[in-house]
Structure 1
Amino acid sequence: MRLFVEGRTNWKTKLQAQVSVHDKVIWFHAASLGEYEQAVPVIDALKQTHPDYKIAVSFFSPSGYEVKKKDSKLDIATYLPLDTQKNAREFLDILKPEVAFFIKYEIWPNLMEVLSNRRIKSYLISGLFRPEQLYFRPMGKFMTEALSRFDHLFVQNEESLNLLKKHGFDQASISGDTRYDRVTAQLGMDNQLSFMEYFTASGELTVVFGSTWPEDLSIALDAINKAPEGIRIVIAPHQINATQIQKLKKNIRKNLICYSEMQSQDLQDYEVLIVDTIGLLTKIYSYANIAYVGGGMGSSGLHNILEPAAFGVPILIGKHYEKFPEAKMLRRLGGVFSVASKNEFDEVFNKLITDQTLREKSGQICGHFVNSEAGATQKIMSTISF
């Protein structure tokens, strides 16, 4: 909350310092880090086709802004001020974008009204809609109106498109999810991490627990402690909280080390590595034989399963995944395994450790699925104009 408030203090002055009167600006708005990653493929494509434009990205959440404010892809990075008519007018007076892109769920009524009044084109990328959302309910007229102001709505799936059409939104099409393009591109990058090379060198299998919350680890700790020799385990909590890290260290009965403690240590002496930093998880997944992706055991929401899936890794998740189409599809196909309890986790975890055929088959399903779903960026780029 402190960063949320402080980040918006003097936002006009901070934004003015990044924009000059002659700049031509393409603006993206993302709620947080995950939505920013969905924007990246389109950002990269527009940098190729419009090299003389500046790329501006605004964030609602500190978890996005604080991580990406110095990203080399961005010419302008800012917090989005709270959605009032006055803030919307002043924000656009300073930024003066020629086009605006919003990611997934980020739809702000006052901002959309001012954009529309100024005839600035706006697009929604990777939209995902469900009948219970406010747009489709009687009390949500103000949100329905905001949605109608977009020049085009690029949605992830047929269910979203049909729902929009049913409610009179004709400016929509299925592009798919740009995250598939993002994670597919990751395969062509340098994913090597020297500390992971050392840590996994003497192990038989590597299991990565990514973006975990305490609720996730509560069902996994027993299996972690009982894991056979030769299993290397990486735990990357979603929140780097010193108290939670200490609690986790006390509950693990294996030889462990934290990323922050690695200097001058021989990583091959350890069985568990706790990654108490951010920005490394995607590359860490490239070393995994099995992955558990957190968020599905609590109320925070399932985190990104496409990152390990792109590397052909079989995936375990918690019980809450209904709002995530990729998780539902991969579970049906057999690449993802959902568990609802400690006993279920133990059973699936042990199967994946001991059954190489199952492990490899499930991983192949994940990799093939991600590859088959790529292509959203191309569809978006062929439709937009400004």
Structure 2
Amino acid sequence: MVLFYNLSIRVYSGLVTIFSTFNEKAKLFRAGRKDLFLRLENALKNETRDRVWFHFASLGEFEQGRPVLEKLKEDKPHLAIVMTFFSPSGYEVRKNYTGADYIFYLPLDTKGNAVRFLDIVKPKEAFFTKYEYWYHYFVALKQRNIPLYMISAIFRPDQIFFKWYGAFNRNMLRCVSHFFVQNKESGELLTQIGFTNWTISGDTRFDRVYENSLQPKKIELIESFIGNKKVLIAGSTWPEDETLLNKLSATLNDDWKLILAPHEVDKSHVDNIMNNLGNNAIRFSELKENPSNTAGKIVVIDNIGMLTSLYQYGTISYIGGGFSKSGIHNTLEPAAFSLPVIFGPNYKKFMEAGELIKAGGGFPIANFDELNFIFSALSQNPEKLADAALASGNYVKQNINATSIIFNELDQ
């Protein structure tokens, strides 16, 4: 099985090389790893502090683990934080983040890379988040007796860890010193396969989104654009979402404006969105050039990093990804701002989405007719809108403090 795993890493590397000739993400993925070990060595050669390693797959996992990283830095400022990302969508947005001392891409998971990486970084502890499991890095950490903690881990019965053929993946779990799981079900699944080193901490994303909702960054251009209108904010949308929102935008009356923040912001994708939306839409970059152009109904966000602050201006939110194989994006960010959250049908793997529905703040839809019905029901009924908004906000508030639980356990 290890041979097959190693082969899959090599195939992945080869595909990235091919795709990097025409795909921007693949190009960044490859360029960010050029001379990576040399840059690591140069950065850390004079570092004398004890080091702690935080790894995140992408931007979402960073926001999830960020409360733990920042609390550790606050409590133990003498430590040096080394932070790595797998994906360009995480690294490129947070490469200048001041909460970590060193920020790099993670070298691909080969045995040689894992050994060399740990030889250079020499972490005293390592923290990974949610789903991120890399065989050679985990084994190398275990062999060196370096504690490895999983933050906000969540497990489901259909995952390979719990299948008869999942021995290879269970071996990765044996390298983890402690699992901080999101719910009781995850802990019980671990117990069924022989792991008792878990604590129910909840999801650290609640801490992060709640903290962000208290002091969001003001965006004056958006404030000018929306004026006193009500706002539908569509975040992390995919093409299937954008097709529905395009139809919905045609039904919006003059009391409403739409802010659309697509998951992919490359020029060709944004161009396609703009062509479909027509003259009522303006790109955010164009709004910056002409701030007085506020007559339109729609603004399309053509950059990354604004979305968490945009929700403060919303009345209702729509979260994308629910029509894709990967599933919905972060529903907690708008919920923290007490926004009702609408999303597509692929949400079953996301515990918080199901709980948000039960609480009365989440609304799944399967097609345009359902989207139109839910939006109309909320937008035309102030009482229903207020109830849904209150339910969203309360759901987040009731689930904060995962970070404190984690540190209480680590202190013990």
TM-score (norm 2): 0.91
Out of 223, 231, 237, which is 2:262 matched to?
237
| Contact 1:212 1:238 (C-alpha < 8 Å) held by counterparts | yes
- SS of 1:77's equivalent in the other structure is strand
Paired residue for 1:362?
388
Deviations 1:4-63 (A, max 9, x none): 222222110121122134131111111111001111100111011110111111111111
Out of 252, 261, 265, which is 2:277 matched to?
252
Which amino acid in 2 is paired with 1:167? I
Which amino acid in 1 is paired with 2:28? L
Alignment partners' CA distance in 1, 2:224 and 2:165: 57
Alignment partners' CA distance in 2, 1:283 and 1:120: 37
Paired residue for 2:175?
149
Alignment partners' CA distance in 2, 1:306 and 1:157: 16
Deviations 1:260-298 (A, max 9, x none): 101233143121111111111111101100000101012
Matched, 1:300 2:320: no
Considering Cα pairs closer than 8 Å and 6+ residues apart, tell me whether 1 or 2 has the greater RCO: 1
Alignment partners' CA distance in 1, 2:328 and 2:344: 8
Out of 35, 58, 68, which is 1:42 matched to?
68
- SS of 2:345's equivalent in the other structure is coil
Out of 224, 246, 249, which is 1:221 matched to?
246
Out of 221, 234, 251, which is 1:195 matched to?
221
Deviations 1:247-266 (A, max 9, x none): 22222245221111012331
- SS of 1:379's equivalent in the other structure is helix
| Superposition pairs of residues 33-72 of structure 1, within 5 angstroms | 33-72=59-98
Q: Give structure 1 stretches of 5+ with no counterpart.
A: none
Paired residue for 1:136?
162
Q: Give structure 2 stretches of 5+ with no counterpart.
A: 1-25
Query: 1:158: how far off?
Result: 1.0
- Matched-pair identity in %: 38
Out of 185, 188, 205, which is 1:159 matched to?
185
Matched, 1:281 2:312: no
| Superposition pairs of residues 259-338 of structure 1, within 5 angstroms | 259-262=284-287, 263-338=289-364
| Contact 2:340 2:385 (C-alpha < 8 Å) held by counterparts | yes
- SS of 2:136's equivalent in the other structure is helix
CA RMSD of aligned residues (A): 1.4
| Superposition pairs of residues 344-383 of structure 1, within 5 angstroms | 344-383=370-409
Alignment partners' CA distance in 1, 2:104 and 2:312: 31
Alignment partners' CA distance in 2, 1:366 and 1:153: 28
Which amino acid in 1 is paired with 2:198? A
Paired residue for 2:107?
81
TM-score (norm 1): 0.97
Alignment partners' CA distance in 2, 1:253 and 1:122: 51
| Contact 1:212 1:293 (C-alpha < 8 Å) held by counterparts | yes
| Contact 1:195 1:267 (C-alpha < 8 Å) held by counterparts | no
Alignment partners' CA distance in 2, 1:76 and 1:300: 30
Alignment partners' CA distance in 1, 2:304 and 2:359: 31
For the structure 1 residues 324 and 278, does the alpha-carbon distance in structure 2 shift closer, same or farther, using more than 3 Å as the test? same
Alignment partners' CA distance in 1, 2:234 and 2:214: 23
| Contact 2:221 2:291 (C-alpha < 8 Å) held by counterparts | no
Which amino acid in 1 is paired with 2:242? L
- SS of 2:214's equivalent in the other structure is coil
- SS of 2:103's equivalent in the other structure is strand
Deviates more, 1:359-368 or 1:190-199: 190-199
Alignment partners' CA distance in 1, 2:269 and 2:148: 42
Alignment partners' CA distance in 1, 2:208 and 2:41: 31
Which contiguous aligned blocks of 4+ residues in structure 1 show a shift greater than 6 angstroms?
Answer: none
Deviates more, 1:305-314 or 1:68-77: 68-77
Matched, 1:112 2:134: no
Query: 1:191: how far off?
Result: 3.0
Query: 1:76: how far off?
Result: 0.8
Corresponding pairs, count: 385
Matched, 1:212 2:200: no
| Contact 2:379 2:385 (C-alpha < 8 Å) held by counterparts | yes
